[in-house]
Chains A and B, each alone.
Chain A
Amino acid sequence: MSDAPPKLEWRGVSKRFDGKPVLRGLDLSVAPGGSLVVIGGSGQGKSVAIKIAAGLMAPDAGRVLIDGQDVAAMPAGERRRLPARFGMLFQGAALFDSLTVWENVAFRLVNADGVARKAAKARALEALDRVRIERTAAGLYPNELSGGMQKRVGLARAMVANPEIIFFDEPTTGLDPITGRAINALIREQVKSLGCTAVSITHDLESARKIGDEIAMLKDGVIVWRGPAAELDRSGNADVEAFVRGDPSPTPV
C-alpha cells in the first residue's frame, strides 16, 4: 500500500445551520488519482461536504487536508492559491450569463492565470472539443444552450486549467437518461485522461457506478458505508440497500 497521504481528506468535519447539525464529524478521504462518489438522500449534507472541501464554506469544527496539509493551517498566500488546484462542475452548471461559451471556459485562464485572450480562446476551444461541443457554439450565450450542453461547457470550464482535484455536484441532475449517460462517460473519460482526483456527489446510482472507483454513503451527516463501486449491490449495509432499492431508510433520520 502506498504511504502517500490522501489527496483530500475531511477529518471530523461538522457544520450546523440555524442550530441544526448537517455534518456530524465527517471522516472521509480520497486517494490521489481516485474517483470517490458520495451518495445519499436529499438534505444529508452532501453539498455542504463538497462546498467545505472546495473552500466555499467554513466548517464549524474539524479539518480539511489536501496532500496531508491542513488547509486552515496553510499560510494565507498558499490558501489563496488553493482554488487554482480545484475545478468544479456545479449542479446547474453555473455558467456566467453575460459571457459567451468560450469566454466562460476561458474565464480562469484570462482572469486568474493571466493568459492572453487569444491563447486562452485557443485552449478553451480545445477543451470544448474534448467535451464534444461544436466550435460553432463557442460564440453562443449559456441561455442559448440545452441543459446537457451547459453541463458539457461547465465540464470544459472545470478542466481547462488541468486541476488536481475536480468536484462534481450532482452532474446528471435535470438531464434525460441519454444525456446523463453521455455526461457520465465524458466525466469518466476526462478525469482519467487528466489523471486528477475526482469527488462527486449524487443521488443518481447509475451515475455513481459509472463515475466512481469508490462509493461512500452519507446519511445524517456521517459516512455509514464505503466500498468499491462494484460492491454497492452487496454492501451488507441496511441503509445502502434501502437507498439502492429506493425504499425508505430503515434507520430513523
Chain B
Amino acid sequence: MSSVPLPLQPVQAIGRSVLGIVRTTGAAALFAARAFLAVVSPRWFFGQFARQLASIGYYSLPVVGLTAAFTGAALALNIYTGGGRFNAEQIMPQIVALGITRELGPVLAALMLAGRVSAAIAAEIGAMRATEQIDALQTLSTDPFRYLIAPRLAAAVIVLPLLTVVADIIGIAGGWVVATRTLDFNATVYIRNTWDFLQSWDVVSGLIKAAVFGAIIALMGCYHGFTASGGARGVGRAATNAVVSAAILIFAADYLLTTAFTHR
C-alpha cells in the first residue's frame, strides 16, 4: 500500500511516469549508441546484412510504390483545386514535385516501413528473446548487437533512401498521370516544368531525412524486441510499441530536420 497521503498521490503518479519516461529514453539512447558502435566497428555479419537488405528493402517496394502513386495522384488533384482559387493551376507540377521529394516521399516511405518492418523486427527479436535464442547467441560467443541489431540498422539506413528515390519517381508519375489524363496538362511540358524547377537539394534533403527515418525504424524495432518480456503477450506489445514509437519519432525528426534545412 502507498504511504503517500491521498492529496499527493496524483503528484506521485506523475513523478513515476516522468521517471519511467526518463529511464526508457536513457535506455533507448544507450541501446542506440551500442547499435551504432556495432555498425561501425568489426566484426560484421555480411550474410545477415544482405538478408536484411532484401527483407527491409526489396520486399517493401510494392507497398511503398503503391502508396507513392496514389498520394502523388491525390496531391496533384488537391493542388490543382487549391491553385485554381488563385488562378495558379499551372504551378501544380512544381508543387507536386516539391511536396513529394522534400516531404511526402521520405515520410510516406518511412511510415510504410514503420508499419511493415519495425513491427516485424520487434516481433522476430522479441520471439528470440522469449525463446532464449538471444541468450543462446551469447553463449555461442556471438554478440547479439553485431549479429542481430547492426545488420538491421545498417540495412534500414541504406535502403530507406533508395526506397525514397522510388517513391519520389512514382509519386511524381502519379501526379503526371492524373494531370495529363484528367486535367488536360501537356505531358511533355509537365515533365519539363518538374525537371526545370526541382533543385538537387530538394531531392538530397529528402534522402537525408530518409536515412534518419531508416535508423529510427530499425532502432525502435530492435529496441522493443530486444527488451520484450512476458512471452507472447510481450512480443505483441513490443511490435505495437515499435510501430507507435517509430511513427512518433519519424514525425518529430521530420519537423526538426525540415526546420534545420529551411534555415540552412
Contacts and interface: CB of A to CB of B under 8 A. Distances in A.
Nearest to B133: A94
Interface residues of A, number: 24
A97 B45 CA distance: 18
B180 interface: no
Interface in A43-67: 51, 54-56
A68 to B, nearest CB: 22
A135 B139 CA distance: 25
Interface string A81-118: 10110111011101111000000000110011100000
Contacts of A167: 139
B139 A111 contact: no
A107 B131 contact: no
Contacts of B131: 92, 94
Contact of B142 (A51, A54, A95, A111): A111
B141 A108 contact: yes
B34 to A, nearest CB: 15
Contacts of B135: 51, 56, 88, 90, 94
Nearest to A92: B131
A108 B153 CA distance: 23
A108 B138 contact: no
B184 interface: no
B142 A94 contact: no
Given A84-B141, A112-B141, A112-B142, A90 B136 contact: yes
Interface in B100-151: 131-133, 135-136, 138-142, 147
Which of B131, B140, B142 has the largest number of chain A CB atoms within 10 A?
B140
Contacts of B141: 81, 83-84, 108, 111-113
B138 A94 contact: no
B139 A86 contact: yes
B138 A55 contact: yes
Contacts of A88: 135-136, 139
B132 A92 contact: yes
A87 B139 contact: yes
A111 B140 contact: yes
A94 B136 CA distance: 6
A76 to B, nearest CB: 13
Contact of B140 (A81, A97, A108): A108
A98 to B, nearest CB: 8
B132 A90 contact: yes
Contacts of B133: 94-97
A54 B137 CA distance: 12
B45 A111 contact: yes
B44 to A, nearest CB: 11
Contacts of A96: 133, 136
Interface in A196-222: none
A236 to B, nearest CB: 36
A108 B132 contact: no
Contacts of B139: 54, 56, 83, 86-88, 167
Contacts of A91: 132
B132 A94 contact: yes
Nearest to B147: A111
Contacts of B140: 83, 107-108, 111-112, 157
- B45, B141, B142: residue with the most chain A Cβ atoms closer than 10 Å: B141
Contacts of B147: 111
B226 to A, nearest CB: 14
Given A91-B132, A94-B133, A96-B133, A56 B45 contact: no
Nearest to A86: B139
Interface of B: 45, 131-133, 135-136, 138-142, 147
29 contacts: A51-B135, A54-B139, A56-B138, A81-B141, A83-B138, A83-B139, A86-B139, A88-B136, A90-B132, A90-B136, A91-B132, A92-B132, A94-B132, A94-B133, A94-B135, A94-B136, A97-B133, A107-B140, A107-B142, A108-B140, A108-B141, A108-B142, A111-B45, A111-B141, A111-B142, A111-B147, A112-B141, A113-B141, A167-B139
Given A90-B132, A113-B141, A167-B139, 6 more contacts: A56-B139, A83-B139, A88-B136, A95-B136, A111-B141, A111-B147
CB-CB nearest 7 A-B residue pairs: A112-B141, A94-B136, A94-B132, A108-B140, A88-B139, A83-B141, A90-B132
